[in-house]
Every structure is written in structure tokens, then in C-alpha cells.
């Protein structure tokens, strides 16, 4: 049985009018469950990605800024989302690779 990573944190609240379609993270698994394409047992919630893995693609300075909530307004515009501890946690969970997951 195929396992599918999903956590409610994927659908992070964004400011009114934000262009990113964040609702898709709730709507897609909900639709697949509704139509019977997948079963609830196939969904699992991954844990956060280890910092060493994040550093495969990001500089340590950037990771520290994310974790310390010190991104500049310019850096926040570049990533397209307003900085918050909840968003950082979301990003660490949504980037988790299946083989790292504890479930």
C-alpha cells in the first residue's frame, strides 16, 4: 500500500488575496479520500526535516535566519511568504523525504 505524506500544517494560512493556492494542500487529499482513490490509512504525517538535509540545498546563514525569524523584508518577498514560526515549521515538515519519515 502506497503511503502519502500529509499534515494539516501544509495548508498554512496566508494573508487575504495572496496568490499562492495554499488550499490545495487540504483539498487534494480530501477529494482523493472522498472519491475512494485513497484510504485514510495511507496518509501519514512526516516529522520535520533534519537541518543537515536542509543544508544540502540552502546555505547555513539562510537556515539560521529562517529558524531565528530574522529574514529581512526583501528576503521574505523573495520567498513569497510572510515569515512566521508556523511557516518555518511547515517548510521543515513539507520538505521531509519519505525515507526520513518516522511513520
Strand partners, 43: 4
Give the predicted TM-score (pTM) of the model: 0.73
d(CA 64, CA 60): 6
Range of the domain at 66: 4-100
Average pLDDT, whole number, for the chain? 89
- What average pLDDT score do residues 77-88 get? 91
Q: Is residue 97 pLDDT above 80, yes or no?
A: no
- What average pLDDT score do residues 8-30 get? 86
- What average pLDDT score do residues 42-60 get? 93
Q: How many domains does the chain have?
A: 1
Q: Is residue 103 pLDDT above 60, yes or no?
A: no
Distances (CA, A) of 50 to 45, 53, 71, 81: 15, 5, 20, 22
d(CA 90, CA 26): 14
Amino acid at each position: 500500500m502506497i503511503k502519502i505524506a500529509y499534515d494539516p500544517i501544509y495548508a498554512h494560512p496566508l494573508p487575504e488575496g495572496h496568490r499562492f493556492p495554499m488550499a490545495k494542500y487540504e483539498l487534494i487529499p480530501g477529494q482523493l479520500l472522498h472519491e475512494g482513490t485513497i484510504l485514510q490509512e495511507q496518509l501519514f504525517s512526516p516529522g520535520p526535516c533534519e537541518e543537515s538535509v536542509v543544508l544540502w540545498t540552502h546555505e547555513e546563514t539562510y537556515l539560521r535566519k529562517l529558524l531565528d525569524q530574522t529574514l529581512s523584508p526583501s528576503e521574505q518577498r523573495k520567498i513569497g511568504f510572510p515569515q512566521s514560526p508556523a511557516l518555518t515549521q511547515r517548510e521543515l515538515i513539507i520538505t521531509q523525504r519519505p525515507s526520513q519519515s518516522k511513520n
